[in-house]
Amino acid sequence: MLLKTDHKDIEALFADYEGLGKKGRGRKKIVLKMIDLLSIHTAIEEQIFYPAVRAAVKRADEIVLRQSEEHHLAAYTISELMQLHEDHPRFHAKVQVLMDNARIHIEAEEEDLFPLVRAGIDREVLNDLGARMEKAKKLVRR
C-alpha cells in the first residue's frame, strides 16, 4: 500500500536525522526531505484517502477526523521549522516533536484505521484509490 510505503520512507528519514545527533551537519537537508515527504503524504491523505474512507466506512469517521487534526498540528510545526536555521536552539526540539507526533500518527493509522479500511472497502475500490493517490503523488513531484 502506498501509504505504508510512505510511512517506511518517513521513518527512514527520521532514522537518518537521529543518526546525525543534535549538532550534526546536514540536519536541515534531511529535515527538508522530511517536510517534502510529509507534506505530499498529508495532501494525498486529506484530498483523496480520508474523504473516501469517511464516505465508505462510517466507523472510521472519528479516527479520520483525529488524523486530520494531527495533520494540522504537523503543518504548524513544519511552518515554524522552515523559518529556523539548523543551529537555532529550538531546531532540534521542533524536529523531535514533529517526529514523535508523526510516529504516533502513523501507528494509529496502521493499527486503528487501516484495518477498518481493509474490512470496509472492497479490494477493487482500494486498488483504484491507491492508483489515484499514486497519480496525485506523481503530479506533485513534477
* pLDDT single digits (tens) 112-124: 999 999 999 999 9
Query: Does residue 37 surpass a pLDDT of 80?
Result: yes
Q: How far apart are CA 84 and CA 137, in angstroms?
A: 27
Please report, for the chain, how many H helices and E strands are present, in that order.
7, 0
The pLDDT value given to residue 16? 94
Run of H or E including 30: helix 27-44
Residues 6+ apart with CB under 8 A from 53: 60, 64, 113, 116, 117, 121
Average pLDDT over the chain, rounded to an integer? 93
- Split into its structural domains, the chain has a count of 1
For the entire predicted model, the pTM comes to: 0.90
CA distances from 118 to 4, 14, 33, 60, 140 (A): 13, 27, 30, 11, 26
pLDDT tens-place string over residues 68-109:
999 999 999 999 999 998 889 999 999 999 999 999 999 999
CATH of residue 77's domain is: 1.20.120.520
Examine the pLDDT at 22 and tell me if it is beyond 80. Answer: no
Residues 32-48: what's their mean pLDDT? 95
Domain that holds residue 29: 2-141
Position 47 confidence tier, pLDDT thresholds 50, 70, 90 = very high
pLDDT for residue 54? 95
Please say whether the beta carbons of 34 and 9 come within 8 A.
no
Note the pLDDT of residue 142.
60
In which band, very low, low, confident or very high, does the pLDDT at 111 lie, cut at 50, 70 and 90? very high
CB within 8 Å of 116: residues ≥ 6 apart? 53, 57, 59, 60, 63
